[in-house]
Amino acid sequence: MTTALLLTEEYIFARDLRPASAKTYLSSTKAMLAHFGTTPIEQIDHRSILAWRKEFLANGKAKRSWNTYSSHLRTVWKYAIKHEMLKHTTVNPFIETCVIPPKRPSKILDANLIQRSRNWLDTLEAQERCTNERSQVTPAWFWLAVFEVFYYTGIRLNALLHLRYKDVDLDKQMILIRGETEKTHREFSVPIMEGLAPHLKLILDKAKRAGFTPDDQLFNVNRFSMHYRGRVMTSDQVEAMYRKLTQKFGARITPHRFRHTLATDLMKEPDRNIHLTKNLLNHSNIATTMSYVEVDYSHMRTVLHERSVMQGALRRIRREDTSGASSRSHGTVRRLDRPTVKLPSSKALEEIAIAMELSTNPTLKQALNHVANYFGEIQEPQRDQEHPPAEMNTLAALMSSAIRRPSVASGYSSAELARPTKLSP
């Protein structure tokens, strides 16, 4: 008789899934069997799945947990239908059974939290080295190395557990991540950064003295401390250390959060490159990478400001003087902002004026002096100084030309500037 468990086992066998993935599929199937019991598989249709979903959520269970079950079982049924393992139907009962989950809390590790964690591990390492006494996380040098690997590379926990002694090449400054350890089943390499190199050298030196072979698990705390008895290091041991970090600082710290943090940090850089980030995290598609990147509103504000400056959206604001001071007249302009665009010097602006066939009358000379003062040729520019509209019109023309003709700032002579040329767009 065909059962849900049989279908799942057949799918796992056909896809050659990693143990962790197989465990997730089996967990989903067992949850289904716990609800339906001995109900024949032929009687499980779309409506009965929706009824299970309703009961599942009514019991206060998480929407994301339901979506995990729904997604995995939909995949199993799709495989079974394709290979004609189900004779009674060609309709997948798990289609359109997912729900919209609540927004995930931030998975980004604050830079200050990372530094405090690093400092704490540094302190524990120094204590162990000086006193030869066991610290809260021992050996501290080992767990500091693990911490730095996650910080600098963003690799998955499973990848760290499967790193072999021979996978770390200090000469080429590269770490090989084998395909069989990855969700994508693709082999790739990550560079060893300057801050990570000393930690890797330390663990390689200790591993060599301990008699490691090239194929031995490199990050195996059991072989570096007499306080552990296991043969290989497991995910439980790593997660136990990160639970201690979480308890110490009151904020959740996990290996996987370093991946989200790294992706977000890389996309903040001026030369942000989504393909570079995707390859470093070894994702199969950009959509997955983008789901790791969280919004940085401070960075968003900076980018929007740069856009407004570059497109000339920031203007000086005209307003009437209502202070009643006799030294101020109507129709003047007060500078309320200071543009961040760097303009040429007053000498270059004078050359522009000549090229534009503007007469060098007193008004122009006065305007050029205002430009020189305003853009930093004096130490303390007077921000509240007012300028008549006529001067501001001249300034506007000069600034516009300076931005449109950057060659002026490159040392062109006034004679060359005077030649008729087509202005760059």
Distance CA 79, CA 73 (A): 10
Q: Identify whether residues 47 and 137 lie together within a single domain.
A: no
The answer to the question of residue 308 being in a domain is no
Single out the residue in 264, 292, 320 at which a domain terminates.
Answer: 292
The answer to the question of residue 178 being in a domain is yes
Active-site pick, 256, 316, 328, 334:
256
Residue 292 is among the residues annotated as catalytic for this protein = yes
The answer to the question of residue 315 being in a domain is no
Q: Identify whether residues 75 and 12 lie together within a single domain.
A: yes
Residue 25 is among the residues annotated as catalytic for this protein = no
Q: Identify whether residues 362 and 224 lie together within a single domain.
A: no
The pair phi, psi for residue 177, each rounded to 5°, is: -110, 115
The answer to the question of residue 229 being in a domain is yes
The answer to the question of residue 21 being in a domain is yes
Q: Identify whether residues 339 and 275 lie together within a single domain.
A: no
Active-site pick, 183, 244, 252, 328:
183
Active-site pick, 292, 335, 374, 387:
292
Q: Identify whether residues 144 and 209 lie together within a single domain.
A: yes
Residue 183 is among the residues annotated as catalytic for this protein = yes
Q: Identify whether residues 156 and 230 lie together within a single domain.
A: yes
Is residue 80 within 8 A of residue 7, CB to CB? The reply is yes
Tens digits of per-residue pLDDT, 242-294? 999 999 999 999 999 999 898 888 877 655 677 777 777 877 777 777 777 77
Active-site pick, 156, 260, 278, 405:
156
Active-site pick, 162, 283, 335, 370:
283
Single out the residue in 292, 313, 341 at which a domain terminates.
Answer: 292
Residue 256 is among the residues annotated as catalytic for this protein = yes
> In CATH, what number is assigned to the domain containing residue 130?
1.10.443.10
Mean pLDDT to the nearest integer, 114-135: 95
Q: How many helices (H) and strands (E) does the chain have?
A: 17, 5
Residue 259 is among the residues annotated as catalytic for this protein = yes
Greater pLDDT, 99 or 296 = 99
Residue 423 has pLDDT above 60, yes or no: no
Residue 283 is among the residues annotated as catalytic for this protein = yes
Is residue 28 within 8 A of residue 7, CB to CB? The reply is no
pTM for the structure as a whole? 0.60
Mean pLDDT to the nearest integer, 325-339: 45
> What does 67-119 look like in DSSP terms, one character per residue?
HHHHHHHHHHHHHHHHTT--SS-SS-TTTT---PPPPPPP-PPPHHHHHHHHH
Note down the domain range covering 22. 4-82
Tens digits of per-residue pLDDT, 368-389? 666 656 555 444 444 445 555 5
Q: Identify whether residues 165 and 264 lie together within a single domain.
A: yes
Tens digits of per-residue pLDDT, 40-91? 999 999 999 999 999 999 999 999 999 999 999 999 999 999 999 998 999 9
Tens digits of per-residue pLDDT, 194-204? 999 999 999 99
The answer to the question of residue 53 being in a domain is yes
Number of domains in the chain: 3
Single out the residue in 238, 259, 292 at which a domain terminates.
Answer: 292
The pair phi, psi for residue 89, each rounded to 5°, is: -160, 160
Residue 189 has pLDDT above 80, yes or no: yes
The answer to the question of residue 303 being in a domain is no
> In CATH, what number is assigned to the domain containing residue 50?
1.10.150.130
Tens digits of per-residue pLDDT, 286-324? 777 777 777 666 766 777 777 777 777 765 443 444 445
